[in-house]
Amino acid sequence: MKKIFLGYQRKNNVVGIRNFVLIIPAQGNLRMLAQKICDFVPETKTTYFPWEIGRSKADRSVMKRTFIGLGLNPNISSVLVLGIEGSGFEELDAEKIRDEITQTGKRAELLIFKKDENIFSAMEKSVKIVRELVLEASKERRRAFGLESLSIGVKCGYSDTTSGISGNPVVGKLFDQIVSHGGKAFFSESPEVIGGEHILTKRAKNKDVAQKLVAAAKGFEDKALSVGEDIRAINPMPANKEAGISTLEEKTLGSISKSGTSIIEDVLEYARIPKKGGLYFIDTTPLCELYTGFSAAGAQLMLFQVGSNAIALNLKPSGSGGNIIPISYITGNSETYEKQKDNFDFNSGPLFNNIEKMDEYGEKLLDKILEICSGTKTKAETVNYQERIELYLQDPVF
Amino acid sequence: MEKGYSQEQIIILNSRDNVGIIKRDVKKGEKIIIDEEKYQNSIEVKDNIPYRFKIALENIDIGDTIIKSGEIIGKAKEKIQKGEMVHVHNIEGLRGRGDLKNK
């Protein structure tokens, strides 16, 4: 029987697994207004981002691309873009952001306020529009879609020996399935590619992609050296070694196994949306920028594959980042799972002593993902917490 | 990754590997039974090795590459006997040092 999930068909030809209205404040000055609208109206999200003042032109362009990417994310039903008349940077022009979203077929409304607008009257105008957007969003209905409509990202952390054996390879199986059916799968963490370039380049679609993979890893290594850090000297970390990982290559190998065995279609710049299905590598850090990066590239859901129990999930279960895609914490370490069951959606720990069951666990994970996509909350989603989003901004602030 | 297999006490991820991963704490002197002629069907454990750490499946010379999951994960910096623990004290990464230039 064909495997399906229930999702929302969006006008810009993608399928959502959640249903939100997004408020985009095109300037830092509008963040408070955006937050307050979200407090008043349910089922809304906003991009609470760092100030654009003092940033380079390149970084402001990344911000613009990220806002548009978030607006186009499959989990977003419609958008309200907020701007201030006559002020702000060219790259962050509210009307242009709105237009780039509506060009794709998705609904995006625009409010430009005068500089001396009062916040409370701005609230009145905004809330009126957003209430209507949320009402319209609630009329959308889920229907059945196949694996070709999936778009999933994965990050791994707190590596131990389970990561490369019972953890990440299961995600690899999931990714192989998604990609073979025409869906999209994303992985990233450029600094973690160091030591494994030869493994990844073997799977690159062509020489151009292979070169981009090597450049992505080298870019981070060079950046580290330029500030006096030698990545190769500090990785693996003491915690990794205590857990049995002996060399950088061993750690990288374990990390890379989460991408499966598919051809790597392309290396994507931050916040670029790929047009067709396939496996994609996003060039960015392993940190919170990546969560936003997945959202801006069009992922519906993000997996966080955890090794050892160093992560203080009990203190902050919902993670941070783009806030518009759910995060699902999964692990291949049964001890980790037992200690934090409230926070994990999947445990492939038993696989460590029964590695022949790899395919079986791949299917189990796929079924769990389809269930989450169809509406079952991730454990992290059962806690209300929204953090400032991190974006991948590379230049100094002036 | 070629299909790996595990036995009672050990995981071998790929037929090209010269290290295995042990499935429970093992003590020096124990015998691990492997159903593989390639390794003479058993390994005598030469160190106390913790759960999930690596064990040498055969004798490894200084400078020989260490293969796990069919890939090179480093090289031996000491002579390693079959059955010894394989970890930071006797192997090093080829890519793990700032003084080595990239290819």
pLDDT in tens, A296-308: 999 999 999 999 8
Which of the listed residues A119, A137, A155 is the one where a domain comes to its end?
A: A137
pLDDT-derived band at A396, boundaries 50, 70, 90:
confident
Residues of chain B contacting A255 with CB distance shorter than 8 Å: none
- Number of domain units in chain B: 1
The predicted pLDDT at position B6 comes to 63
The reply to whether B53 touches chain A by the CB within 8 Å rule is yes
- pLDDT surpassing 80 at residue A64: yes
Judge whether A390 lies within some domain.
Answer: no
Supply A325's token pair: 């895609």
The predicted pLDDT at position A155 comes to 94
HEC-encoded secondary structure of A253-322: HHHHHHHCCCCEEEEECCCCCCCCCEEEEECCCCCHHHHHHHHHHCCCEEEEEECCCCCCHHHCCCCCCC
Kindly report which listed range (A94-103, A154-163, B32-41, B59-68) carries the lowest average pLDDT score: B32-41
Closest to A7 in 3D by CA, of A151, A142, A183: A142
Query: Do both A126 and A165 map to the same domain?
Result: no
The predicted pLDDT at position B2 comes to 46
Judge whether B98 lies within some domain.
Answer: no
pLDDT-derived band at A365, boundaries 50, 70, 90:
very high
Question: What's the CA gap between A105 and A113, in Å, rounded?
Answer: 25
- pLDDT surpassing 80 at residue B25: yes
Cα distances (angstroms) measured from residue A182 to each of A212, A299, A375: 23, 14, 22
Closest to B71 in 3D by CA, of A189, A77, A257: A257
The predicted pLDDT at position A308 comes to 85
The reply to whether B92 touches chain A by the CB within 8 Å rule is yes
Query: Do both A38 and A178 map to the same domain?
Result: no
The verdict on a CB contact (< 8 Å) between B1 and A261 is yes
Judge whether B102 lies within some domain.
Answer: no
Find out whether A178 and A145 touch, Cβ atoms under 8 Å: no
Judge whether A360 lies within some domain.
Answer: yes
Mean pLDDT for all residues in chain A: 91
End-to-end CA distance of chain B: 24
Residues of chain B contacting A199 with CB distance shorter than 8 Å: 71
The predicted pLDDT at position A90 comes to 85
pLDDT-derived band at A322, boundaries 50, 70, 90:
low
The reply to whether B27 touches chain A by the CB within 8 Å rule is no
Query: Do both A160 and A242 map to the same domain?
Result: yes
pLDDT-derived band at B100, boundaries 50, 70, 90:
very low
The average pLDDT across B19-44 equals 88
User: Taking the CA of residue A218 as centre, how many other CA atoms within 13 Å lie in the half-sphere pointing to its CB?
Assistant: 11
The verdict on a CB contact (< 8 Å) between A253 and B69 is yes
- Number of domain units in chain A: 2
- pLDDT surpassing 70 at residue B63: yes
Judge whether B27 lies within some domain.
Answer: yes
Judge whether A394 lies within some domain.
Answer: no
Query: Do both A161 and A31 map to the same domain?
Result: no
Judge whether B99 lies within some domain.
Answer: no
Query: Do both A133 and A151 map to the same domain?
Result: no
The predicted pLDDT at position B3 comes to 52
Tell me the residue range of the domain where B50 lies. 5-92
Judge whether A284 lies within some domain.
Answer: yes
pLDDT digits (tens, 9 = 90+) for A191-240: 888 888 988 999 999 999 999 999 999 998 888 888 887 776 677 888 88
Residues of chain B contacting A213 with CB distance shorter than 8 Å: none
Question: What's the CA gap between A250 and B70, in Å, rounded?
Answer: 11
Query: Cβ–Cβ contacts within 10 Å for residue A366, how many?
Result: 18
Query: Do both A200 and A247 map to the same domain?
Result: yes
- pLDDT surpassing 50 at residue A3: yes
The predicted pLDDT at position A314 comes to 65
- pLDDT surpassing 90 at residue B95: no
The predicted pLDDT at position B97 comes to 52
pLDDT-derived band at A318, boundaries 50, 70, 90:
low
Residue B64 maps to which CATH number? 2.30.130.110
The average pLDDT across B55-83 equals 95
The average pLDDT across A345-349 equals 96
Query: Do both A246 and A132 map to the same domain?
Result: no
pLDDT-derived band at B102, boundaries 50, 70, 90:
very low
Query: Do both A92 and A152 map to the same domain?
Result: no
Judge whether A13 lies within some domain.
Answer: no
Tell me the residue range of the domain where A348 lies. 147-382
Kindly report which listed range (A36-40, A191-195, A361-365, A386-390) carries the lowest average pLDDT score: A386-390
The predicted pLDDT at position A313 comes to 66
The reply to whether B20 touches chain A by the CB within 8 Å rule is no
Which of the listed residues A74, A109, A137 is the one where a domain comes to its end?
A: A137
Supply A26's token pair: 């095109």
The predicted pLDDT at position A288 comes to 80
- Higher pLDDT among residues A314 and B98, named by residue: A314
Edge-to-edge strand ranges of the sheet holding A107-113: A44-46, A20-25, A76-84, A107-113
Helices A57-72 and A94-102 cross at an angle (nearest 10°) of: 40
pLDDT-derived band at A398, boundaries 50, 70, 90:
confident
The predicted pLDDT at position A232 comes to 64
Query: Do both A48 and A184 map to the same domain?
Result: no
Query: Do both A293 and A263 map to the same domain?
Result: yes
Judge whether A9 lies within some domain.
Answer: no
- pLDDT surpassing 60 at residue A319: no
% of chain A surpassing 90 pLDDT: 69
- Higher pLDDT among residues B82 and A242, named by residue: B82
Judge whether A187 lies within some domain.
Answer: yes
HEC-encoded secondary structure of B55-98: EECCCECCCCEEEECCEEEEEECCCECCCCEECCCCEECCCCCC
The predicted pLDDT at position A321 comes to 44
Query: Do both A252 and A376 map to the same domain?
Result: yes
- pLDDT surpassing 70 at residue A60: yes
The average pLDDT across A66-95 equals 93
Judge whether B74 lies within some domain.
Answer: yes
A to B CB pairs, distance under 8 Å:
90
Question: What's the CA gap between A217 and A233, in Å, rounded?
Answer: 15
Judge whether B46 lies within some domain.
Answer: yes
Judge whether B80 lies within some domain.
Answer: yes
Query: Do both A234 and A348 map to the same domain?
Result: yes
Closest CA–CA distance from residue B65 to any residue of chain A (Å) = 12
pLDDT-derived band at A243, boundaries 50, 70, 90:
confident
The verdict on a CB contact (< 8 Å) between B50 and A249 is no
ipTM above 0.95, yes or no: no
The verdict on a CB contact (< 8 Å) between B54 and A244 is yes
pLDDT-derived band at B103, boundaries 50, 70, 90:
very low
Judge whether A285 lies within some domain.
Answer: yes
